[in-house]
Structures are given as structure tokens and as C-alpha cells.
Amino acid sequence: EVSICWLRRDLRLEDNAALYEALKGPFPVLLLFIFDKNILSKLADKKDARVTFIHRTITKLNIDLQMLGSTILTRFGKPEEIWSEILDEHDVKAVYVNHDYEPYGRERDDALAEYLRSEQIDFHTFKDQVVFEKNEIIKADGKPYTVFTPYFRQWQQKLNKFYLRAYPLNKYSHNFLPLTAQELPSLSAMGFETSTLHFPSKDFSSKLEAYEQKRDFPAEDATSHLGIHLRFGTVSIRSAAREAIAQGAEKWLSELAWRDFYMMILWHFPHTVNKSFKPAYDLIKWRNEESEFEAWCQGRTGYPIVDAGMRQLNQTGYLHNRVRMIVASFLTKHLLIDWKWGEAYFAEKLLDYEMASNVGGWQWACGSGNDAAPYFRIFNPELQTKKFDPELKYIDRWLPAYKQGKHVQPIVEHAFARDRVLKVFKEALNE
């Protein structure tokens, strides 16, 4: 008789809600990870760095687990098929998972819940990847917030030690199922190659002190780079929030709340993954010029701050927040290309890709989102550069050709593009 704790995007043993509850429960715990074919088969790049990251993390978890006399059960396949194999192989009494807010994850978990019910196996689910989820922060009329500021006010008011409590591993770590070590499927067996990209460290605490002052200047590299760790759960959101509070880093804490906010929005409005939050924006007549999209992807628009950004993204899998806003505004407004194209490109490239924040960020930049920048706010790349990269340090780092006078000419003139987008947006929005 065993319990199974299935890890998905909560790849850690320490401070993991579902794992803690499983270990506290009546049966020895078997930890499971599935390399999900439904997801992996959609990745175009065989060197996708996120697959390498996950593989390394699971390898490390397995070593940690061996110290506790157990091993992680890893499989490669479709969860719906793997689960029926597992129930054949083990006498499973209960299954524990942490909540997932993305449409695919919800569907997968609903199907599993039904299957387990039919087999009379208990299914326990927990909040783990956010501080507040679903309906925990809600307006007086019972509806979800769609504007961040009042949401954040309530988020802050509600926050206390209870919501940030840790789930210590050592309390029940004797309750793992004793098992001899098992091999993980190799990356190549799953059709992938090892990426050589650099992964950011988990140590973010030194970044918090000067964060508020320096966060908007891309050359400073003054942000935490914690995104990938929050995405895959290699750092617990509660430990991040506790550290922010300990250091009085309010601005940084509010960024973690933005993350909660977008997860809540995705949960309540899952259709916004491929539809504009404000329906009128789906009437915009995008130009969707493929050659211009290609130029944007490759950093050849002739706008140095845009091109430097796209090169940082392509080379490192990371892009500074200020520059994410600039390149997203440029694509949707200067080039009149559908935000979904940009969203998909980021989804392919970002190490910290998070569906909720990415869709939220893109809809914000193009104006179609809840609480978005108004449609007539069109970032001027030159002014943005003067303000946030005045000495061109960032541009010089990612686009050295610019200083040498060797970069391409702008593909569209700013004033012309501005007039064009205003006209097209006004027409669609009937303003």
C-alpha cells in the first residue's frame, strides 16, 4: 500500500505542500515524475533548455531522495497511459498533487481525478505555486479582480504568517517508500539534446536591496532572475515572499503578487490564452507581415533597443522586463503584428516562460488585456532608450554593431507607424 506524490512544476522536496501532506499521511510515499509526451512533443527545439533544466533537477532530486533511502519513479509518456500502468504495478491508496492553473494542467488533473474516483483511490490537491489562488482574493461582489491595484491592496492585507508557512521536509521524511535507486530516462532517449545555456542561480537574496532603484535599467542586471525557479518550483514562492518581507523589499514583493494576479486571471478567464481579454481587440486588422515578424525575431528591425533585446532573448533565454515591454509594444504597434505571434515566440524562447504572465504581459503591452496600457500609449523606442539605457550600455552589450555604425536601417519610421496603428486600432475599437 502506497501514496503517490506526483511532481509537475513543483520540483523540490523542501517546502512542498502536496509532498508534506503525503508524507504526513498513513501510507509510505512514492514520488513520481512523468516526462510528459503531450508537452514534449510540441517543443520544436531539440535543445530546448527547459527540458535540460528539468532533467538536471530531477536527477538531483533523485540523489537527494536516495539519501533518504528511496528513489524517484520517472516515466516518459502520456500521463493518462502512465497512470494506468502505475495503478497496475502498485497498490495505490492515495494520490497527492499541487494545483495547476493552466488549461492543459486543469484538464489533465480533472481526467486523473475521475479515473482515480472510478478506482476508489483518494485524490488530494493543494495550493503550492502561488501565495493566493483562485477565489482567495475576491471583490466584495464575489467577482474576480481584473485591476491589479485594488487586488494588491487586498493581497497585502490578507498576507500573514499562516499563508507563508513552510512545509518542512525533515518532519516526516522517514515516510518515503524504501526503494532501490532507479535510472532516469536519458535526454537522448526522449529525443532531446543537452542545452549549453546558463541557468540562473537560486540565490536571489542579494538582488533585493537595490531592486526598486535599479530594476528598470536593463544594463544593470539588477533583477532576481528567479523566474525559471518559480516556474518549475525549484524555489518555493513562500520562501521568496518571506525573504522579501524580511528585507523590506516591497516592490519586489509586489512583483510576486503580479505573478499571483496573472495566475488568478488565467484561472478565471482561461479563454484569454488565445482571445483578447477585451473582445474588441480581436477585431483589429493586424498586418501580420511575415518578413517583418522574422526581422523582429532575429533582432533586425533597425531599432537598436528592440534588436538588442531580441538578441539577449535568443542568446540567453532571458529578457529584461523593461525590454520585454518595449519589444512587445514594437511588434504589436509599430509592426501591427498579432500579440499571439509574439506570445508564441516568447513561449518558445524564455527560460522563465509562464503562460499566465506571458499572456498577461503581451495583452498588457498591446492594450487588449485587463488592466492594460491604453491603446494610444505607444512606446517610443528612442525615448525609452534615453530614459532607461542613456549610455547605451545595454545596446552595446547585445548589439555591438550599432556603435560601429554597422546596423541595419529602421524597417518602419516611428511617426508613420504611430499614425498607422492609431488609425487601425481606433477603427477596430470604434473610438
In this structure, the strands spanning 72-77 and 92-98 are unpaired
Between 75 and 324, name the residue whose CB sits nearer to ligand FAD.
324
Say if residue 128 carries a ligand binding annotation.
no
Enumerate residues 6+ apart whose C-beta is below 8 A from 33.
6, 7, 8, 11, 58, 61, 72, 73, 74, 75
- On whether the CB atoms of residues 311 and 299 are closer than 8 A, the answer is yes
Residue with C-alpha cell 549610455?
391
Least separation in angstroms between residue 320's CB and ligand FAD is: 6
What does the alpha-carbon distance between residue 383 and residue 55 come to, in Å, rounded to a whole number?
42
Scanning 7-15, 33-41, 347-355, 411-419 for contacts with ligand FAD by CB under 6 A, the matching segment is 347-355
Residue 326 as a binder of ligand FAD (CB under 6 A): the answer is: no
- On whether the CB atoms of residues 24 and 176 are closer than 8 A, the answer is no
- On whether the CB atoms of residues 407 and 302 are closer than 8 A, the answer is yes
Say if residue 250 carries a ligand binding annotation.
no
Q: Is 2 strand, coil or helix? A: strand
Say if residue 106 carries a ligand binding annotation.
no
Phi, psi (degrees; rounded to nearest 5) at 29: -105, 130
3-state secondary structure 278-339: CHHHHHCCCCCCHHHHHHHHHCCCCCHHHHHHHHHHHHHCCCCHHHHHHHHHHHHHHCCCCH
Least separation in angstroms between residue 270's CB and ligand FAD is: 17
Say if residue 255 carries a ligand binding annotation.
yes
Scanning 47-55, 63-71, 158-166, 222-230 for contacts with ligand FAD by CB under 6 A, the matching segment is 222-230
Quick one: which of 19, 22, 306, 365 contacts ligand FAD (CB under 6 A)?
365
Query: ∠ CA 46-48-51 to the nearest 5 degrees?
Result: 105
Least separation in angstroms between residue 247's CB and ligand FAD is: 13
Least separation in angstroms between residue 321's CB and ligand FAD is: 3
Least separation in angstroms between residue 326's CB and ligand FAD is: 9
Residue 329 as a binder of ligand FAD (CB under 6 A): the answer is: no
Enumerate residues 6+ apart whose C-beta is below 8 A from 427.
285
Residue 369 as a binder of ligand FAD (CB under 6 A): the answer is: no
Looking at residues 262 to 301 of the shown chain, list those that interact with ligand FAD (rule: CB under 6 A). Answer: 262
Residue 348 as a binder of ligand FAD (CB under 6 A): the answer is: no
Would you mind telling me the total number of residues written for the chain in this entry?
431
Say if residue 262 carries a ligand binding annotation.
yes
Scanning 44-52, 162-170, 176-184, 253-261 for contacts with ligand FAD by CB under 6 A, the matching segment is 253-261
Cite the active site residues.
Answer: 255, 258, 286, 321, 339, 362
Residue 321 as a binder of ligand FAD (CB under 6 A): the answer is: yes
Quick one: which of 265, 325, 395, 421 contacts ligand FAD (CB under 6 A)?
325
Scanning 170-178, 256-264, 272-280, 397-405 for contacts with ligand FAD by CB under 6 A, the matching segment is 256-264
| Size of residue set near ligand FAD by CB under 6 A | 26
What does the alpha-carbon distance between residue 381 and residue 296 come to, in Å, rounded to a whole number?
14
Say if residue 373 carries a ligand binding annotation.
no
- On whether the CB atoms of residues 259 and 154 are closer than 8 A, the answer is no
Least separation in angstroms between residue 234's CB and ligand FAD is: 12
Q: Which residues are annotated as a binding site for FAD?
A: 211, 252, 255-262
Task: Enumerate binding residues for ligand FAD (CB under 6 A).
Answer: 215, 223-227, 230, 255-256, 258-259, 262, 321, 324-325, 328, 346, 350, 352-354, 357-358, 361-362, 365
